[in-house]
């Protein structure tokens, strides 16, 4: 079945910035596919949004588990015929669990597990969904990065993140930014736009209670990039419509 209504998938959509991104896109008239690795949590989050009168559906997707991809692709193909927006929001910051953050002491396994979700899983899922995104008249791919992925700012004394070093997470977001650049270049002659988003420091489980931004504000950059017009940017790295240095 196909539909004229635009369809947006948000991974890690059952809480935090992901949930708010689903909400804001659904309010703009999209069918929101709320991706969650825990099916029960996804259904609960989707039910709450449906009570707000929004067109939202929970779908199971663990970005780090390739076994989930085939079923998800088949579901979207059968029920919608295409995918208009992919927001790669799901991510982990394992340094939050109290382990070493420094380059000289962090266990390589921490880096590997971080990359499994934040980089490798995100790339593989995007590749799996790309044929459906190509069927959209105006596909949009948004990779949830972070200012912590900026090599320029990490290397610049006095920058806002110069002293904020957590190797696995930072490296993963730098690598994700590289994926954005390369995929955008590959798709430059198509209607598809690919961009990286820095949501800001947001009050979430990952961001903590001291973060200055609320959830609604944290979703703004993702929603803007997901709804870009035909003359909008591609291959960029943005926070609130302002470009960040790579």
Strand pairing report for 193-197 and 237-239: parallel
Q: What is the pLDDT of residue 122?
A: 97
CATH number, domain at 97?
Answer: 3.40.50.720
State the Cα–Cα distance between residues 87 and 84, nearest whole angstrom: 10
% residues pLDDT > 90 (the chain): 87
Whether pLDDT at 203 is above 60: no
- Name the pTM for this structure: 0.94
**Residue 206 — pLDDT band, cuts 50, 70, 90?**
low
Is residue 11 in some structural domain?
A: yes
Confidence (pLDDT) at 95: 86
| Structure confidence at residue 177 (pLDDT) | 98
Task: Determine contact, residues 31/5, Cβ cutoff 8 Å.
Answer: yes
Q: What does the pLDDT average to over 186-198? A: 98
Residue 225 in any domain: the answer is yes
The stretch 92-99 carries a mean pLDDT of 80
Overall average pLDDT of the 72-96 stretch: 95
Q: Calculate the average pLDDT of the chain.
A: 92
Mean pLDDT computed over 148-161: 96
Least confident of 14-23, 191-200, 213-222: 213-222
218 — pLDDT class (breaks 50, 70, 90): confident
Work out the pLDDT band at 239, boundaries 50, 70, 90: very high
Domain coverage including residue 14: 7-243
The reply to whether 1 falls in a domain is: no
What mean pLDDT comes out for the span 185-205?
86
Token code pair at residue 193: 């736009």
Residue 204 lies in a domain: yes
Domain presence at residue 2: no
**Is residue 125 included in any domain, yes or no?**
yes
Q: Is the dihedral of CA 228, 232, 236, 238 positive or negative?
A: negative
Does the structure show a pLDDT above 80 at 207? Answer: no
Known catalytic residues are 169, 173
> Phi and psi for 66 in degrees, rounded to 5?
-60, -20
Specify the pLDDT at position 99: 67
- Mapping DSSP onto H, E and C, the string for 160-225 reads CCCCCCCHHHHHHHHHHHHHHHHHHHHCCCCCCEEEEECCCCECCCCCCCCCCECHHHHCHHHHHH
- Stretch 175-179: mean pLDDT, rounded? 98
Q: Give strand pairing partners of 196.
A: 143, 237
The tally of domains found in the chain comes to 1
């Amino acid at each position: 079945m196909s539909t004229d209504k635009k369809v947006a998938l948000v991974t890690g959509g059952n809480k935090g910035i992901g949930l708010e991104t689903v909400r804001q896109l659904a309010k703009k008239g999209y069918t929101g596919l709320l991706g969650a690795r825990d099916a029960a949590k996804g259904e609960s989050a989707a039910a709450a949004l449906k009570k707000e009168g929004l067109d939202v559906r929970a779908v199971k997707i663990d970005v780090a588990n390739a076994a989930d991809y085939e079923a998800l692709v088949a579901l979207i193909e059968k029920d919608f015929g295409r995918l208009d927006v992919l927001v790669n929001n799901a991510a982990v910051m394992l340094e939050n669990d109290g382990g070493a953050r420094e380059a000289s002491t962090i266990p390589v396994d921490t880096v590997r597990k971080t990359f499994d979700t934040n980089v490798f899983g995100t790339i593989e899922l995007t590749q799996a969904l790309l044929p459906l995104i190509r069927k959209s008249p105006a596909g949009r791919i948004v990779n949830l990065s972070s200012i912590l992925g900026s090599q320029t700012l990490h290397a610049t004394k006095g920058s806002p993140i110069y002293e904020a070093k957590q190797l696995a997470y930072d490296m993963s977001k730098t690598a994700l930014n590289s994926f954005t650049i390369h995929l955008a270049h590959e798709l430059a002659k198509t209607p598809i736009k690919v961009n990286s988003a820095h949501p800001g420091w947001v009050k979430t489980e990952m961001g903590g209670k001291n973060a200055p931004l609320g959830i609604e504000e944290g979703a703004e950059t993702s929603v803007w990039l997901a709804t870009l017009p035909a003359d909008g940017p591609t291959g960029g790295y943005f926070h609130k419509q302002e470009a960040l240095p790579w």
